[in-house]
Structure 1
Amino acid sequence: MLFGPHETNLGHGRSLSERHVAYYARRAVGGCGIVVTETASVHESDHPYERAPLAADCGPGWADVVAACRPSGALVLASLGHTGAQGTSAHTRAALWGPSAVPDVVTREVPAEMAPAEIAALVAGFRAATRTAVAADLDGVEVDAGPRALLRQFASGLTNTRTDVHGTDRLRLLREVLAAVRADLGSGRVLALRLSCDEQAPWAGITPASAVTAVAELAPLVDLLVVVRGSGLAASAYRPDGHTAPGSNRELTAAVRAAAGGTPVVLQGSVVDVAAAEAALAGGVADAAEMTRAQIADADLVARTRAGVPVRPCTLCNQACQVLDVRNPPVSCVADPRSGHETGEPAGVPAGAGRRVTVVGGGPAGLEAARVLAGAGADVRLVERSGRLGGGLRLVAALPGRARFADLADWLEGEVRRLGVRVELGVTADDGDVVATGARPRPPGFDVADDAWLLLAADVLAGTDPPPGPVVVHDPAGGPAGTGVAELLAAAGREVTVVTPDEVVGVRLAGDLAPANTRLLRAGVRRETGCVLRAAGGGVAVLADRWTGAERRVPCAVVVDAAPPLPGTAPDATVPAGDVVAPRTVLEAVLEGRRAARAVLEGWPGERRPEEPRPPVA
């Protein structure tokens, strides 16, 4: 099993930090077999994001990662690469490097066509980085020719239109790099290659058929081959979210393995379930599995599996683990917010033996609080007013592509029951040690006439079928709720319009932004952007342009409001958590549930002595 390279924003400048070390060591302790560190640029011309590691600065950090991981039996490889035209010139203030002057499809930056001297400098950069890795006693390196890599750009006819030897033979540079790395790596260390085998542009570039031919040539040069998919044309193909079925690279990987001539091949691409990974290996699809996001969600995935303990599931939401954005957030996970924060969030909590604790609310915050408290030995009572645990997780799971949030709800429920929490459903309470009773509805910020229907997005997700007629989805939040509800209703044959003040629908969807808008377009959903909803009635909704105030009208019989709700209420003597504090996402709910449990066990605010009787709950 591999823990693959990915952006973390954990670095100090361009070097690996103690946060990197703790992050990787936690996975090694959890049983991971191979840890591949965050891709380091082999040349200073490449600075793709602010905290992107630079191989020349990574020696001490790599050595620290090896020292932390090797006692657990994990191999540590350094990922080495250069993003070329898919980087940014914001940090270097110099022209990007590329095989040809082809504008990048994402940034629209035009790179400078690399001259022979720059090609030689790139190869020398890979050699120097390899020597640094060997000096740090790494177990090997992985050369990046994946979706964002300059080496992939040289291998593709979409970006390489050269007429010299590096254009007529597009794999030449990759072979030169592999030969240079092998020469400096020496014997006894692993040379791995991460290779994009499908750019998702069937009219040109790297296709599965051309990749199979390339692999027959490249596989003998390496010890391990990681098969990936994607390019600038299909950035989401590398780490797709829940709209793509897990294990989507199985067929491609099997074809590549058949051409690899015995070189071990790794299956990558939403491999998040151990049983599915084992089935792929048993079926001859691959020789190993990369389960990166699964181990961000549960660092102890291997250890839990061996012990027969249920594994905390990855929701495939990409919300907190895909951090290549302008905010530079540290990597984390909605299921385990301690991921990426190993040096800041304590690993454990004070002992809770002898404590009797009541948690009010069975959503993600309450479930996590109850789980942590029970795991610390406390006698925990969990009170939930509805007839089912899971709260908002169950609603989120009704959205397209978010079904795995139900798995997280099931896991949390299973854990609290396994740990002996006394669960009381259909019971209403206002007071407890931890109060996680959720949010309350927000009154609409627009006029609704008597002849128009108003529903909340939560109503639709809970199963309420809107009355007949055109539907306007009011989405001032730009998150998954508005676009997801629009998709659901359009799939049911409804006429749907999404109204947003933003210049694009779903502005907060990160990696799913472009795919979500594509899905809406294909479903026939009308998108009204840059406007606010003023009123609904008389069969129309009145919209006002955000900038000019000019009004326009769209058909409307039903408004589904996806505006964020208001915070709930909690007594002052309790520890609040989740949406009762401020309506946000599952990430904050789970994090605050964990922190609330710790606060209770540390005696804040207001410690109750173990011998004091618990007050009755209404």
Structure 2
Amino acid sequence: MLFGPHETNLGRGRALSERHVAYYARRAAGGCGVVVTETASVHGSDWPYERAPLAADCGPGWADVVAACRPHGALVLASLGHTGAQGSSGHAQTALWAPSAVPDVVTREVPVAMEQPEIDALVAGSAAGARIAVGAGVDGVEVDAGPRSLLRQFASGLTNHRADGYGADRLRLLREVLAAVRAELGPGRALALRLSCDEEAPWAGITPDLAVGHVRELAPLVDLLVVVRGSGPAPSAYRPDGHTAPGFNTDLTRSVRAAAGGTPVVLQGSVVDVAAAQRALDDGVADAVEMTRAQIADAELVRRARAGVRVRPCTLCNQACQVRDVRNPLVSCVADPSDEGALAAGAGRRVTVVGGGPAGLEAARVLASAGAEVRLVERTGRLGGALRLVAALPGRARFADLADWLAGEVARLGVRVELGTTAEGGDVVATGAHRPPGGSAADVLAGAELPPGPVVVHDPVGGPVGVGVAELLAAAGREVTLVTPDAVVGERLGGDLAPAGARLARAGVRRETSSRLRSAGGGVAVLADRWTGEERTVPCAVVVDAGPGLPGDVPPGVPAAGDVVAPRTVLEAVLEGRRAARALLAAPPR
């Protein structure tokens, strides 16, 4: 079991911090066998995001991670890399490095083609990073030649148009880096390689067939090979959301393993279920499995699985664990948001939680786990609240698994659940939002019938709900127009932004961007251009509002959580439910 490298924003400057140490130690304590730290840049020219680690600054942090993980039996590998043209010039204030001056498809920035001095500096930086990691006591190093890597850019015909030896032999630089790192590792330490084996750009890029040849050449040089996919044109292929089936790299990994000549191969790619991981091992797909997002969702995944306890599920939503966006958040998870500190004892307390959505369920779970006697009151006939609605969206079905897990946990912990019941007051209030009846996205997701005719989905938020409802209605054969004030639909979707646009286009959804909905009636909706105010009409028989609901009333001094406070995401609702429970436990009994 591997916990793979990923951006966390937990750094202090460009060094690993004590928060990194605690983050990795939790997974080691939970039973993970191999922890791979966040990829550190091997040269100062590479500064892809604000708190990206720099190998030259990581020695003390790597040593602390090793000290924290080793008592639990976990091996620690330091990931080393350089993002090249897929980095950012905003922090280093220097030109991006690349094999050729090919504009990056995402940033449109034109990099500088590396000359021999830059190539030599990259190889030397990789060796120096490995030397520092060895001095910190790591068990090995993983070299990154994955989707965002400069080494992948050299290996690919998409981005390597060179006429010299590094163009005639596109794997040459990768071999030189591996040799330099191997020389620093010495005996007894592992050399792993994260290798993009499908760029999803068959017109010029690395294809699975080409990758087999790459693997035959590179596998003898390493001790472990992690099979991934993705590139500049397909950045979401590395860790897509729930619209892509889990375990999507299975066939690719199987073919690579057959070519690896006995070098152990790791399956990566939305592997989030323990049973599926075990099947992959039993079927000979791979020798090990990387379950990174699954262990972000449940740091104790291995320990729970061994004990026969149900694992907290990963929803494959990418809403909190992908941190490279304009908000610059810390790594987190909608199922297990960060909240530090020990729980106060709750034995002897009798507590009523009102509301059985994600916030109320999490509050009840935390209170019961602290020993409190908990009563959970829910006015509907089923627990889960908004999680059940979100699960009706395309690609979001795993939110129902989270609802089931929370309901199962409160049952396991002895919470007394009363369905179809209302309660005045309560010790924690999590009764959700309220919306005018009819015409909301929540109504559509709950199965409400809409009048016939064209539908306008009004999305002032830019999150997954508006896009998902438009997809759902288009799949049902409705004529759909999605209206947003933003320049693109789904502006807050992060890694799913481009795939969502492609899905909407294929579904025939009309997209009206930079637009405000002025009015609707008489078979049309009147839209106004956000910038000019110029009005136009689109066909409309019914408007579906994908905006947030309205908060409710909470008695003064009573801990509250979720949509009853203000419109919240699942992450915020679960986190606030947890915090409300902690606050109640920390306060004197009433």
Alignment TM-score, normalising by the size of structure 2: 0.99
Residue in 1 that maps onto 2:153: 153
Mapping 1:187-202, distance limit 5 Å: 187-202=187-202
Match of 1:424, as an amino acid?
E
Deviation of 1:467 (Å)? 1.3
Residue in 1 that maps onto 2:304: 304
Q: Structure 2: where are the runs of 5+ without partners?
A: none
- Contact 1:316/1:404 (8 A) holds in 2: yes
**SS of aligned partner of 2:159:** coil
Residue in 1 that maps onto 2:352: 358
Matched, 1:485 2:469: yes
Residue in 2 that maps onto 1:495: 479
**SS of aligned partner of 1:518:** helix
Distance 1:30 1:465 in 2: 46
Deviation of 1:430 (Å)? 2.8
Matched, 1:63 2:63: yes
Match of 2:431, as an amino acid?
T
Distance 1:537 1:326 in 2: 38
Residue in 2 that maps onto 1:389: 383
Deviation of 1:326 (Å)? 2.2
Deviation of 1:509 (Å)? 0.7
Query: Of the candidates 535, 540, 545, which is equivalent to residue 529 of structure 2?
Result: 545
Deviation of 1:442 (Å)? 6.0
- Contact 1:11/1:20 (8 A) holds in 2: yes
Distance 1:426 1:125 in 2: 64
Mapping 1:126-137, distance limit 5 Å: 126-137=126-137
- Contact 1:430/1:571 (8 A) holds in 2: no
Query: Of the candidates 559, 563, 571, which is equivalent to residue 547 of structure 2?
Result: 563
Mapping 1:316-331, distance limit 5 Å: 316-331=316-331
Distance 1:512 1:46 in 2: 25
Mapping 1:519-534, distance limit 5 Å: 519-534=503-518
Distance 1:157 1:240 in 2: 24
Match of 1:529, as an amino acid?
T
Residue in 2 that maps onto 1:465: 449
**SS of aligned partner of 1:299:** coil
Residue in 2 that maps onto 1:228: 228
Residue in 2 that maps onto 1:45: 45
Residue in 1 that maps onto 2:167: 167
1:358-385, Cα deviation, whole Å (9 max, x unpaired): 0000000000011111111111000000
Residue in 1 that maps onto 2:278: 278
**SS of aligned partner of 1:566:** coil
1:192-242, Cα deviation, whole Å (9 max, x unpaired): 000000000122210000001110010000000000000011010000100
Distance 2:256 2:453 in 1: 50
Distance 2:546 2:88 in 1: 35
Mapping 1:383-462, distance limit 5 Å: 383-441=377-435, 455-462=439-446
Residue in 2 that maps onto 1:449: none
**SS of aligned partner of 2:262:** coil
1:527-554, Cα deviation, whole Å (9 max, x unpaired): 0111111111100001111111111000
- Contact 1:430/1:570 (8 A) holds in 2: no
Match of 2:476, as an amino acid?
A
Residue in 2 that maps onto 1:446: none
- Contact 1:157/1:206 (8 A) holds in 2: yes
Matched, 1:72 2:81: no
Q: Which deviates more from structure 2 when the two are superposed, residues 480-489 or residues 319-328?
A: 319-328
1:228-274, Cα deviation, whole Å (9 max, x unpaired): 00001101000010000000000000000000000000000000000
Q: Structure 1: where are the runs of 5+ without partners?
A: 444-453, 609-618
Match of 1:485, as an amino acid?
V
- Contact 1:76/1:139 (8 A) holds in 2: yes
Aligned pair count reads 590
Match of 1:510, as an amino acid?
G
Deviation of 1:568 (Å)? 1.3
Distance 1:279 1:141 in 2: 28
Mapping 1:92-111, distance limit 5 Å: 92-111=92-111
**SS of aligned partner of 1:455:** coil
Deviation of 1:526 (Å)? 0.4
Runs of 4+ in 1 over 6 A off after TM superposition: none
Match of 1:36, as an amino acid?
V
1:37-79, Cα deviation, whole Å (9 max, x unpaired): 0000000111111100000000000000000000000000000
**SS of aligned partner of 2:39:** strand
Match of 1:378, as an amino acid?
A
- Contact 1:147/1:231 (8 A) holds in 2: yes
**SS of aligned partner of 2:37:** strand
1:443-488, Cα deviation, whole Å (9 max, x unpaired): 9xxxxxxxxxx61000000011211100000111111111100000
Q: Which deviates more from structure 2 when the two are superposed, residues 274-283 or residues 572-581?
A: 572-581
Distance 2:320 2:183 in 1: 39
Distance 1:582 1:430 in 2: 20
Distance 1:417 1:527 in 2: 44
1:117-143, Cα deviation, whole Å (9 max, x unpaired): 111111000000010000001000000
Query: Of the candidates 498, 510, 522, which is equivalent to residue 494 of structure 2?
Result: 510
Residue in 2 that maps onto 1:447: none
Distance 2:191 2:308 in 1: 34
Deviation of 1:431 (Å)? 1.0
Distance 1:240 1:282 in 2: 25
Distance 1:120 1:503 in 2: 43
Match of 2:509, as an amino acid?
V
Distance 1:351 1:183 in 2: 53
Match of 1:149, as an amino acid?
S
Identity %: 81
Deviation of 1:573 (Å)? 3.9
CA RMSD of aligned residues (A): 0.9
Distance 1:579 1:429 in 2: 18
1:340-397, Cα deviation, whole Å (9 max, x unpaired): x6xxx11x31111111110000000000011111111111000000000000000000
Distance 1:555 1:375 in 2: 53
Deviation of 1:165 (Å)? 0.5
Distance 1:357 1:500 in 2: 43
Distance 1:601 1:326 in 2: 35
1:403-433, Cα deviation, whole Å (9 max, x unpaired): 0000000000000001110000000113110
Deviation of 1:569 (Å)? 1.4
Distance 2:331 2:368 in 1: 27
- Contact 1:470/1:495 (8 A) holds in 2: yes
**SS of aligned partner of 1:38:** coil
Match of 2:426, as an amino acid?
G
Query: Of the candidates 577, 584, 589, which is equivalent to residue 593 of structure 1?
Result: 577
- Contact 1:442/1:564 (8 A) holds in 2: no
Distance 1:531 1:573 in 2: 41
Match of 1:353, as an amino acid?
A
Match of 1:351, as an amino acid?
A
